[in-house]
C-alpha cells in the first residue's frame, strides 16, 4: 500500500543516530526538528547538533527552527541557519509568542532566497496570509498542525484540503506539510487530498509496516500478544 502513496514522508525528531538510520531508508524524503524535540533528545548545543545533522544528511531537505521571538533576531538566526547548507529550510513560526504575525518577515526572507518552513499554522486564514507572503519567493514549506487541530475536536481534513488548494492557487513554490500526525491513517488521509508532505516521529514511522495489513491477521496477532504477555508475566488466578 505504501508504494501507492504519493505524499512524501519526512521524519520528525532529534536523535542523530536514528536520523542517520532513516536517511538510508528510501521511504524517507526529508527531516524536520524543533527546539522541543531537541530538548527532549538532550541536545545541549544547537549549532553543533544542527551542523552535524546537515553533515550527516546532505541529500535530504532538513528543517531547522529559529528560537528567537522578535523579528530582528529571527532574521539574524534565519540567515545564519540557512548558511549551513543548501538543503536547509528555516522554520519560522507563523506568529511571535504575543501573536504578532511574522508573514512580513517570511516574505522578506523568502524573497531574499532563504528557503523557509512556516510552522504552527492551524487555520485556513493563516494559510491564506502565508501563501501570499511566499508567492514570489524561494521554495518553501507551510506546516499546518493537523494533529493539534484534531486535538481541539475539529476535523482537520477540510482545513488541510483547502490549504492544498490555497497553496496551488497562490504559492506554487510552496508545499503543504501535514504536521503532528497521530496515526498512520493520517498518511492515507494526507495522500487522499494531495498533501505534499507529512511529518512523522520515529515511533510512528516504526509502524509503517502495518499499513494495509489484513485486519483478521492483525486481530489474531493482537490476541496472541495479550496471551504471550500474560504467560511471560506468570499471572495466576
Dist. CA 211–CA 178, nearest whole Å: 18
- Asked if residue 216 belongs to a domain, the reply is no
DSSP label at residue 5: -
Q: What is residue 3's predicted lDDT score, i.e. its pLDDT?
A: 82
Q: Whole-angstrom distance between the N-terminal and C-terminal Cα of the chain?
A: 43
Phi first, then psi, for residue 109 (nearest 5°) are: -65, -45
- Asked if residue 232 belongs to a domain, the reply is no
Q: Which residue has the cell 500500500?
A: 1
Q: What is residue 1's predicted lDDT score, i.e. its pLDDT?
A: 78
Dist. CA 214–CA 68, nearest whole Å: 47
Q: What is residue 2's predicted lDDT score, i.e. its pLDDT?
A: 81
CATH code, 187? 3.20.20.70
Tally of structural domains, the chain: 1
Is residue 231 within 8 A of residue 211, CB to CB? The reply is no
**91 in active site:** yes
- Asked if residue 9 belongs to a domain, the reply is yes
Dist. CA 186–CA 75, nearest whole Å: 33
- Asked if residue 226 belongs to a domain, the reply is no
- Which residue range is the domain that position 159 belongs to? 2-210
- Asked if residue 236 belongs to a domain, the reply is no
Question: Where does residue 200 rank: exposed (0-12), middle (13-18), buried (19+ CB within 10 A)?
Answer: buried
- Asked if residue 235 belongs to a domain, the reply is no
Per-residue pLDDT of the chain (237 residues; tens, 9 = 90+): 788 999 999 999 999 999 999 999 999 999 999 999 999 999 999 999 999 999 999 999 999 999 999 999 999 999 999 999 999 999 999 999 999 999 999 999 999 999 999 999 999 999 999 999 999 999 999 999 999 999 999 999 999 999 999 999 999 999 999 999 999 999 999 999 999 999 999 999 999 999 999 999 999 999 999 999 999 999 999
Choose, from 20, 55, 91, 115, the residue flagged as catalytic: 91
Amino acid at each position: 500500500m505504501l508504494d501507492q502513496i504519493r505524499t512524501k514522508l519526512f521524519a520528525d525528531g532529534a536523535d542523530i543516530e536514528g536520523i542517520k538510520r532513516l536517511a538510508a531508508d528510501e521511504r524517507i524524503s526529508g527531516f524536520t526538528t524543533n527546539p522541543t524535540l531537541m530538548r527532549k533528545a538532550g541536545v545541549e548545543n544547537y549549532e553543533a547538533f544542527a551542523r552535524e545533522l546537515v553533515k550527516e544528511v546532505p541529500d535530504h531537505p532538513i528543517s531547522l527552527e529559529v528560537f528567537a521571538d522578535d523579528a530582528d533576531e529571527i532574521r539574524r538566526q534565519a540567515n545564519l541557519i540557512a548558511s549551513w547548507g543548501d538543503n536547509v529550510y528555516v522554520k519560522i513560526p507563523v506568529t511571535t509568542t504575543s501573536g504578532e504575525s511574522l508573514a512580513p518577515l517570511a516574505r522578506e526572507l523568502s524573497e531574499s532566497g532563504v528557503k523557509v518552513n512556516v510552522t504552527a499554522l492551524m487555520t485556513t486564514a493563516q494559510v491564506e496570509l502565508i501563501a501570499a507572503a511566499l508567492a514570489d519567493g524561494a521554495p518553501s514549506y507551510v506546516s499546518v498542525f493537523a494533529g493539534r487541530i484534531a486535538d481541539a475536536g475539529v476535523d482537520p481534513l477540510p482545513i488541510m484540503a483547502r490549504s492544498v488548494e490555497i497553496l496551488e492557487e497562490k504559492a506554487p513554490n510552496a508545499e503543504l506539510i501535514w504536521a503532528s500526525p497521530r496515526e498512520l491513517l493520517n498518511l492515507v488521509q494526507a495522500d487522499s487530498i494531495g498533501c505534499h508532505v507529512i511529518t512523522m516521529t520515529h515511533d510512528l514511522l516504526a509502524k509503517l509496516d502495518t499499513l494495509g495489513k489484513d485486519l483478521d491477521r492483525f486481530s489474531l496477532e493482537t490476541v496472541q500478544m495479550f496471551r504471550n504477555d500474560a504467560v511471560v508475566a506468570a499471572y495466576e488466578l
